[in-house]
Amino acid sequence: MYYNDIDSQKPAVLGCFDKKSQGRSDGEGTVAIAAPELRHVTDLVIDVEAPVSVGESVRGLRRLVVIAGGTAQGSRLSGRVLPGVDSQIIRNDGVTELQARYVIETQAGARIHVENNGLRSGPPEVMAALHRGEPVDPGAVYFRAAPRFETGDPAHAWLMSRLFISAGIRRPATVELAIFEVL
């Protein structure tokens, strides 16, 4: 079986490969590929300004959201968020594509460029309220992104050799992100 049953007592496995042929196998002598786990890196609280609408295009409504600053708090990355921008497309199907660019300055003064691409979606009435700047139930909104980092600081070079995922909440004047390393 390619995926283990949800009710199985075994850890989640993505697949099994025969050691000799590297082909898929369910028998003896197989190498299991474990499902990825997550390790918390940092929590961001980002202050944002009101969206600036650029207008409709063939892809949807283009908006720019100025990132005014914020904080990063975590056992593996802490500091402040420097100004940046989130370029958004609200697609015709209601899904918002996010492309945020900003810098985290660590407590030691190192600067880390962040490129965070993601998606935000939910029921039409919830998304309409969110786009009007109204508070909504965070549990009603799917908000995930995949941040990538770039830095010249040796202490944070590990950020450039790993994959990350974030879960977020959009509030009227802030964005909250929990960032995790994919192990």
List of domains in the chain? 1-35 (no CATH), 38-182 (2.40.160.20)
Instruction: Give the range among 1-15, 44-58, 88-102, 110-124 with minimum mean pLDDT.
Output: 1-15
Q: What is the pLDDT of residues 83-119, one digit of tens each?
A: 999 999 999 999 999 999 999 999 999 999 999 999 9
- Distances in whole angstroms, Cα of residue 161 to Cα of each of 29, 38, 43, 54: 31, 15, 20, 35
pLDDT > 80? residue 24 = no
Position 10 pLDDT exceeds 80: no
Q: Check residue 154 and report its DSSP letter.
A: G
User: What's the chain's average pLDDT?
Assistant: 89
Q: Are 26 and 153 in contact (CB under 8 A)?
A: no
| 147, containing H or E segment | strand 142-150
The pTM of this model reads: 0.83
